[in-house]
């Protein structure tokens, strides 16, 4: 297994991975991703040699991912521009290998990254690929993803009224009137900065189907259920007595709405992989949840309350442009004092990344995927 197609992922398909960050995080204007077109094959070769690595690895892929994710980006090759993306080909035994992408969350959101893997595997199983020297280098910048406004149909005509009102509603949603449910770590000191830990719980297919079906019957999604489950964990850790129950709320400040349904041509969801969601603040008052019913009933009440908060914003026509607009607000990079978690749901991965890949002239699969592993390290906004 090899990847002779490393130039193609930077070519007309995904030049975003070869961009660099320009600007100061403390400046008045948010930092920007800037792309410089390839000036020649020698420059392309240098970049690919730095951005793509072959590693002889032991069977413990988890350990490799954990160690690599502790490394702060960008990579800084000698006498070259910083690199914010690196692909590792992990060569194992018995024809079992790994492919690992390491990069910033801004251009490696869960769903779009699965699309990027699908592209790579498609090229690896296709023996008819245009040689890199035949590609029109210098024009690949046309395939950079559009910004969030252009990608979702352009500026909304009523933004000055409806959009500004939506921003006000979001700010009001962040206003704290009751006590937020939080959980603090038992140890505040950091013995290993950036270290990630993986706790895996696998549900069997029967239970998974039941959960999906029951959730759909209530008109909610699995994302709503996951956030409600996180709230249940906070309730279990805080052990609120009924006498103070209504004085608290669940702060879902990292709740995310997918922008994919809003994307318009010429945006290409397969190759323009970049973060495609908008974060919204939601609060669920514990007064909306009974303190005396069963945990299952509480979970249902929370799930439905979260769905109602989502629907309020998700259906708003100006919602796709909120993330871009909020980036220019004075508190865009402000830190939150509480310890919060972010719930991510990439959905059925097989829809984006098939598990079996056949060659053009083979009946049997050339590549079969055994597992997919994500590793996300949350850091301060202003490190």
Q: Which residue has the tokens 């413990």?
A: 60
pLDDT at 15 over 50: yes
Share of the chain above pLDDT 70, in %: 86
Look at residue 226 and tell me if it is in a domain.
yes
The pLDDT, as a whole number, for residue 60 is 80
Look at residue 89 and tell me if it is in a domain.
yes
Look at residue 377 and tell me if it is in a domain.
no
Same domain, 83 and 163: no
Same domain, 268 and 355: no
Q: How far is CA 325 from the centre of its chain?
A: 20
Confidence band for 233, pLDDT divided at 50, 70 and 90: very high
Which CATH number covers residue 87? Answer: 3.30.559.10
C-beta separation of 246 from 285 below 8 A: yes
| Cα dihedral 257/217/222/145 (nearest 10) | -40
pLDDT at 10 over 50: yes
The pLDDT, as a whole number, for residue 289 is 96
The pLDDT, as a whole number, for residue 2 is 41
Same domain, 269 and 212: yes
Same domain, 294 and 232: yes
Look at residue 337 and tell me if it is in a domain.
no
The pLDDT, as a whole number, for residue 278 is 80
Closest C-alpha among 1, 278, 253 to residue 123:
1
Q: Which domain holds residue 32?
A: 6-144+347-368
Q: Which of 27-36, 127-136, 168-177, 323-332 ranks highest by mean pLDDT?
A: 168-177
Instruction: Write the pLDDT tens digit of every residue in 328-354.
Output: 665 554 555 556 677 878 888 888 899
d(C-alpha 88, C-alpha 331), whole Å: 37
The pLDDT, as a whole number, for residue 1 is 40
Look at residue 334 and tell me if it is in a domain.
no
Kindly give, in sequence order, each residue whose CB lies less than 8 Å from that of residue 15, ignoring residues fewer than 6 positions away: 35, 140, 141, 143, 144
The pLDDT, as a whole number, for residue 23 is 77
Domains held by the chain: number: 2
Share of the chain above pLDDT 90, in %: 32
Instruction: Write the pLDDT tens digit of every residue in 198-227.
Output: 888 888 999 999 999 999 999 999 999 999
Among 326, 356, 378, the domain-final residue is: 326
pTM, to two decimals: 0.85
Omega of the bond prior to 266 within 30 degrees of 0, cis?
yes
What average pLDDT does this structure show over 358-374?
Answer: 87
Instruction: Write the pLDDT tens digit of every residue in 278-300.
Output: 878 889 999 999 999 999 999 99
The pLDDT, as a whole number, for residue 4 is 46
Look at residue 118 and tell me if it is in a domain.
yes
Closest C-alpha among 244, 224, 358 to residue 304:
224
The pLDDT, as a whole number, for residue 225 is 94
Same domain, 224 and 161: yes
Tell me whether strands 52-56 and 86-91 are parallel, antiparallel or unpaired: parallel
d(C-alpha 111, C-alpha 157), whole Å: 30
Q: Which helix (H) or strand (E) holds 258?
A: strand 248-258
Same domain, 84 and 118: yes
The more confidently predicted of residues 149 and 218 is 218
What average pLDDT does this structure show over 142-160?
Answer: 85
Look at residue 335 and tell me if it is in a domain.
no
Angle between helical axes of 222-238 and 295-314 (0-180°, round to 10): 130
d(C-alpha 349, C-alpha 371), whole Å: 11
Between the alpha carbon of residue 138 and those of residues 22, 45, 47, 79, the distances in Å are: 20, 14, 15, 22
Q: How many CA atoms lie within 13 A of 196 on its CB side?
A: 20
Instruction: Write the pLDDT tens digit of every residue in 83-114.
Output: 999 999 999 888 889 999 999 887 888 888 88
pLDDT at 363 over 80: yes
Q: Where are the alpha helices (DSSP H) in the chain?
A: 6-10, 41-51, 61-69, 110-124, 164-174, 205-217, 222-238, 295-314, 322-326
C-beta separation of 60 from 370 below 8 A: no
Same domain, 199 and 64: no
pLDDT at 64 over 50: yes
Confidence band for 379, pLDDT divided at 50, 70 and 90: low
Same domain, 50 and 172: no
pLDDT at 359 over 60: yes
Look at residue 309 and tell me if it is in a domain.
yes
Mean of per-residue pLDDT scores for the chain: 83
What average pLDDT does this structure show over 158-184?
Answer: 87
d(C-alpha 113, C-alpha 271), whole Å: 10
What average pLDDT does this structure show over 169-179?
Answer: 85
The pLDDT, as a whole number, for residue 262 is 83
């Amino acid at each position: 297994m090899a990847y002779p197609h490393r130039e193609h992922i930077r070519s007309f398909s995904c030049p975003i991975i070869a961009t660099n960050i320009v600007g100061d995080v403390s400046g008045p204007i948010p930092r920007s991703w800037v792309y410089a077109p390839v000036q020649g094959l020698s420059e392309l070769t240098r970049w690919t040699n730095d951005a793509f690595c072959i590693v002889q690895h032991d069977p413990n892929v988890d350990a490799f991912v954990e160690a690599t994710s502790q490394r702060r980006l960008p990579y800084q090759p000698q006498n070259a521009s910083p690199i914010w993306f690196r692909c590792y080909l992990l060569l194992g035994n018995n024809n079992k290998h790994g492919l690992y992408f390491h990069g910033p969350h801004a251009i490696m959101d869960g769903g779009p990254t699965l699309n990027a893997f699908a592209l790579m595997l498609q090229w690896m199983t296709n023996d008819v690929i245009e040689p890199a020297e035949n590609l029109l280098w210098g024009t690949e910048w046309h395939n950079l993803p559009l910004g969030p406004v252009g990608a979702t149909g352009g500026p909304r005509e009523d933004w000055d009224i409806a959009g500004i009102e939506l921003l006000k509603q979001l700010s009001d949603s962040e206003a704290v009137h009751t006590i937020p449910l939080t959980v603090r770590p038992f140890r505040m000191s950091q013995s290993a900065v950036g270290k990630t830990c993986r706790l895996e719980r696998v549900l069997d297919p029967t239970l998974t189907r039941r959960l999906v079906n029951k959730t759909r019957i209530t008109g909610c999604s699995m994302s709503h259920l996951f956030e409600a489950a996180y709230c249940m964990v906070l309730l279990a850790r805080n052990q609120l007595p009924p006498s103070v129950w209504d004085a608290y709320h669940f702060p879902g400040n990292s709740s995310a709405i997918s922008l994919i349904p809003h994307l318009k041509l010429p945006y290409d969801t397969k190759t323009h992989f970049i973060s495609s969601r908008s974060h919204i603040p939601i609060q669920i008052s514990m007064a909306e949840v009974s303190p005396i019913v069963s945990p299952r009933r509480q979970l249902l009440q929370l799930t439905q309350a979260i769905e109602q908060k989502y629907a309020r914003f998700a259906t708003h026509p100006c919602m796709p442009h909120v993330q871009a607009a909020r980036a220019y607000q004075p508190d865009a990079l402000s830190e939150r004092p509480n310890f919060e978690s972010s719930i991510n749901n990439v959905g059925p991965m097989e829809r984006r990344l098939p598990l079996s890949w056949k060659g053009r002239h083979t009946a049997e699969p050339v590549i079969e995927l055994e597992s997919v592993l994500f590793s996300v390290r949350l850091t301060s906004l202003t490190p």
